[in-house]
């Protein structure tokens, strides 16, 4: 039997039943990678010898009667996670030989759960792109169309899953870096509530792996089904044992509902600051129709929704404030001069990016206060609704664009060119307030490209959008393997 496209849940059942061994699964996955990855370039750091050894260890453990959540299941890990014995570069050439001494906390959790790590997946330079290419490892192609991007910054992981290279992967998300590659490659991903999963060891070199609380970024699971996302999130969730983990454990509340007919959902397909492409709009509406057919209460408008334009501006300022915080003084001074020349009337996202880049601490504190008002608004919203369905980006995967000046790039939305970074506004809707969001494939565009949507849920109620994703999957289907 061919196992490469089976779900983690199916593989776990087969391992327990003795229908397959971890050694067989691992050899099959390695064979497929060696055969197919030359065209995709998803696995940038293979670790096959240790994977085979881990698989044999998993089979021996099972023979002793052990049974752990991921025991013997082949997985991949985003390059940005520290794995002892493998380089962590974040695609930066000056760190091509950076070799961490210990595993990231999430890699440790994968291994403790019994997973077999096949290797690391490709990323963009510094994790700062919606594509995955760098000077060290080259370009990762979309398995559906090699002329297009697989997304970023977890693009290697998404391409690996879509290609059958392992059953699960772990990535990270600051600007849609889990959700956008999932949308572009036709898989599932979950951006957890901010702070739910420990991030130590998912750090840019040469920084030490300290247990810091990140402002916007999270780590999270990627898979080929919604149920597999839940399986992996259960392994990943929980505080860092060096800090908060000394005092408490995490117990996520159950999903608000089990039946689709009990869900109350707001559907959005328009944003005040950016158009929505026809293929993505069709994907949103496909999900909306499935919700209605399943008896869910679906609304298109509500005064409870926080202001989308203000949310996008606030997210943009917070995101870019952090992205340039370590710029050289000369570059920062140049940005300050440019920002001072902006008209007070310029409320574009370009202007928000530039203003955010030169935030003072006072500016950041004011933005953070406004974020708390938005969080309160979401609490009021989720007293009446259970989830939001909306785009992840306004288009399917776009052609490779390696222009190093990201501010000069443009994306095409049904013939209209817009600034490249404007497409982040949908990802920021969940990221800015720290809400959980699950990326769900909805089918293919007329051009044969995957289209996904995100299901945004209440803070620390991650099981609610995950359950809704399962129910949507049952209605409209889910992952399709590329032809």
pLDDT, tens digit, 9 for 90 and up, residues 326-366: 778 788 889 999 999 999 999 999 999 999 999 999 999 99
What is the average per-residue pLDDT within 412-437? 98
In the predicted structure, residue 470 carries a pLDDT above the cut 80 = yes
What is the average per-residue pLDDT within 162-166? 98
In the predicted structure, residue 199 carries a pLDDT above the cut 80 = yes
How far is residue 35's CA from residue 380's CA, in Å, rounded to a whole number? 52
What is the average per-residue pLDDT within 437-456? 98
How far is residue 438's CA from residue 455's CA, in Å, rounded to a whole number? 5
CB atoms within 10 A of CB 292: 14
How far is residue 91's CA from residue 84's CA, in Å, rounded to a whole number? 17
- Write down the residue that tokens 């044969």 correspond to: 448
What is the average per-residue pLDDT within 119-141? 98
User: What's the pLDDT at 1?
Assistant: 80
Which class for 43: exposed (0-12), middle (13-18), buried (19 or more C-beta within 10 A)?
buried
Instruction: Collect all residues with Cβ–Cβ distance below 8 Å to 317 and sequence separation of at least 6.
Output: 352, 353, 355, 356, 359, 367
Which residues on neighbouring strands pair with residue 437, listed in sequence order?
191, 456
What is the average per-residue pLDDT within 310-320? 97
- Which run of H or E residues covers position 363? helix 361-381
From residue 352, give the alpha-carbon distance in Å to each of 193, 407, 425.
Answer: 25, 13, 12
Contacts of 11-19 with C-beta under 8 Å, sequence gap 24+, read 11/72, 11/73, 11/167, 12/69, 12/70, 12/71, 12/73, 12/231, 15/62, 15/71, 15/72, 15/73, 16/62, 16/67
* Angle formed by the axes of helices 226-236 and 105-112, nearest 10°: 110
What is the average per-residue pLDDT within 91-99? 98
CB atoms within 10 A of CB 483: 6
What is the average per-residue pLDDT within 35-61? 98
Identify the band that residue 142 occupies on the pLDDT scale cut at 50, 70 and 90. very high
The DSSP call for residue 434 is T
User: What's the pLDDT at 324?
Assistant: 82
**CB of 52 closer than 8 Å to CB of 23:** yes
- Write down the residue that tokens 């059953």 correspond to: 167
How far is residue 1's CA from residue 382's CA, in Å, rounded to a whole number? 45
From residue 362, give the alpha-carbon distance in Å to each of 328, 344, 359, 465.
Answer: 21, 19, 8, 35
The DSSP call for residue 246 is G
Tokens read off for 422: 């404007």
Which residues on neighbouring strands pair with residue 116, listed in sequence order?
74
pLDDT in tens, 208-223: 999 999 999 999 999 9
Which residues on neighbouring strands pair with residue 222, listed in sequence order?
169, 189
User: What's the pLDDT at 436?
Assistant: 99
What is the average per-residue pLDDT within 465-470? 99
User: What's the pLDDT at 214?
Assistant: 94
Single pTM value for the model = 0.98
* Angle formed by the axes of helices 361-381 and 308-323, nearest 10°: 140
Q: Percentage of residues in the chain with pLDDT exceeding 70?
A: 100
What is the average per-residue pLDDT within 231-249? 98
User: What's the pLDDT at 4?
Assistant: 97
Identify the band that residue 192 occupies on the pLDDT scale cut at 50, 70 and 90. very high
User: What's the pLDDT at 328?
Assistant: 81
CB atoms within 10 A of CB 337: 10
The average confidence (pLDDT) of the chain is 97
What is the average per-residue pLDDT within 248-268? 98
What is the average per-residue pLDDT within 234-256? 97
């Amino acid at each position: 039997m061919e196992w490469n496209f089976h779900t983690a849940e199916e593989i776990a059942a087969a391992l327990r039943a003795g229908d397959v061994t971890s050694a067989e699964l691992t050899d099959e996955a390695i064979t497929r990678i060696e055969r197919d990855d030359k065209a995709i370039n998803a696995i940038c750091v293979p670790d096959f010898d240790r994977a085979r050894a881990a698989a044999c260890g998993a089979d021996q453990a099972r023979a002793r009667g052990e049974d752990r959540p991921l025991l013997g299941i082949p997985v991949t890990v985003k390059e940005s996670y520290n794995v002892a014995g493998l380089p962590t570069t974040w695609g930066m050439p000056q760190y091509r030989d950076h070799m961490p001494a210990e595993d990231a906390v999430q890699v440790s959790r994968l291994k403790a759960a019994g997973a077999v790590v096949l290797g690391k997946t490709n990323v963009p330079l510094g994790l700062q792109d919606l594509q995955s290419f760098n000077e060290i490892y080259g370009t990762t192609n979309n398995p559906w169309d090699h002329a297009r991007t697989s997304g970023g910054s977890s693009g290697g992981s998404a391409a690996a899953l879509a290609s059958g290279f392992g059953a699960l992967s772990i990535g990270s998300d600051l600007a849609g870096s889990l959700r956008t590659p999932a949308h572009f490659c036709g898989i599932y991903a979950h951006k957890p509530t901010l702070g739910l999963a420990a991030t130590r060891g998912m750090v840019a070199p040469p920084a030490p792996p300290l247990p810091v609380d990140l402002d916007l970024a999270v780590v999270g699971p990627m898979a080929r089904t919604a149920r597999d996302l839940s399986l992996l999130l259960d392994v990943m969730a929980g505080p860092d044992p060096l800090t908060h983990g000394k005092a408490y454990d995490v117990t996520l509340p159950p999903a608000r509902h089990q039946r689709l007919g009990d869900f109350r959902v707001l559907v959005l397909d328009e944003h005040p600051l950016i158009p929505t492409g026809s293929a993505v709009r069709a994907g949103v509406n496909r999900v909306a129709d499935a919700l209605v057919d399943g008896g869910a209460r679906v609304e298109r408008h509500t005064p409870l929704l926080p202001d989308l334009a203000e949310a996008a501006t606030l997210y943009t300022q917070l995101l870019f404030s952090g992205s340039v915080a370590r710029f050289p003084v000369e570059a920062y001074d140049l940005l300050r001069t440019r920002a001072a020349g902006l008209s007070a009337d310029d409320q574009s996202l370009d202007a928000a990016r530039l203003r955010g880049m030169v935030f003072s601490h006072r500016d950041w504190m004011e933005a953070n206060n406004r974020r708390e008002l938005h969080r309160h608004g979401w609490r009021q919203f989720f007293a009446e609704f259970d989830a939001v369905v909306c785009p992840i980006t306004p288009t399917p995967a776009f052609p490779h664009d390696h222009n190093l000046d990201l501010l000069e790039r443009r994306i095409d939305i049904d013939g209209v060119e817009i600034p490249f970074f404007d497409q982040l506004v949908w990802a920021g809707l969940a990221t800015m307030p720290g809400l959980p969001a699950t990326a769900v494939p909805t089918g293919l565009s007329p051009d044969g490209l995957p289209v996904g949507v995100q299901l945004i849920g209440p803070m620390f109620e991650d099981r609610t959008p995950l359950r809704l994703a399962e129910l949507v999957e049952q209605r409209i289907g889910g992952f399709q393997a590329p032809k």
